[in-house]
Amino acid sequence: MSSRILPRFRSKIWLLLAVMFYPPPVYADTLCSYQSFTWDTRARQSVNRVRIVKPYAELSAEEIDSYTGCSVCEQDQRSIRIVPLAPFKVCRLLAPRLERELRRLLREGMPIDEIVGYRVGRTRGHIDDAGLRTRFSNHSFGVAIDINPDHNGLYDNCLTFSPECRLIRGGHWDPARPESLRADGDIVNAMESIGLEWGGEIEGWQKDFMHFSPSGY
């Protein structure tokens, strides 16, 4: 783990500089639009699907990622199209370097079958009295991606990975399979090189082996 500290620090410096100097979009009279849902923890399904259209100037603080400045607006996202992957969107700030790394990994034969990026939903934070999540996920701002979700599940009851971990989304994680991600693997290292932490190493009772974001959550 210690051999990865310096490269990860450098990647965070790059991301910070990109946030500081990447030219902001000119919205002027542009409307912000996005579709959103809320996660129902009791029914274990998405509910309250809505489409929002409003002036960009009227965005609330919760609709803008405090770290990158990317918002939930579709206008802040860029589409990445790399055959044979299905197209997906991410924050305009991350898109150029992420696309370069993914193209390199695929050229080198890395087993990347699916990537999930931008999708706006309240899937984090406090659970209200109705059992609904109350905060936008990092995917909502386009600053998180999931890689090979069918082979890299989200687990709870999982302080460290063991048979007691409970799979709650995605497929079973098996580091012996090429599609499953590993801390010492090329895919994890490549994502960390552009400032994205791996959810397989987050602290706490969940491990999200498919997930990458600036915080890992």
Query: In sequence order, what DSSP letters do the residues of 113-173 get, joined into one string?
Result: --EE---EEEEEEEE-TTSBEEEE-GGGGT--EEE-GGGS-EEES-SS-STT-EEEESPPP
Residue-level pLDDT at 189: 95
Do the Cβ atoms of 148 and 208 come closer than 8 Å?
A: no
Tell me the backbone φ, ψ of residue 84, rounded to 5 degrees: -100, 15
Residue-level pLDDT at 30: 84
Residue-level pLDDT at 2: 44
DSSP 192: H
pLDDT one digit per residue (tens) for the chain, 217 residues: 445 555 555 555 556 655 555 555 545 468 999 999 999 999 989 999 999 999 999 999 999 998 889 999 999 999 999 999 999 999 999 999 999 999 999 999 999 999 999 999 999 999 999 999 999 999 999 999 999 999 999 999 999 999 999 999 999 999 999 999 999 999 999 999 999 999 999 999 999 999 999 999 9
Peptide linkage before 87 cis (omega within 30 of 0): no
Give me the amino acid identity at 190: A
Residue-level pLDDT at 152: 98
Closest C-alpha among 89, 90, 72, 51 to residue 135: 72
Residue-level pLDDT at 17: 58
Residue-level pLDDT at 9: 52
- Contacts within 8 Å (CB) and 24+ apart, 169-174: 170/146, 170/209, 170/210, 173/200, 173/207, 173/209
Measured between alpha carbons, how far is 106 from 179 in angstroms, rounded to an integer? 13
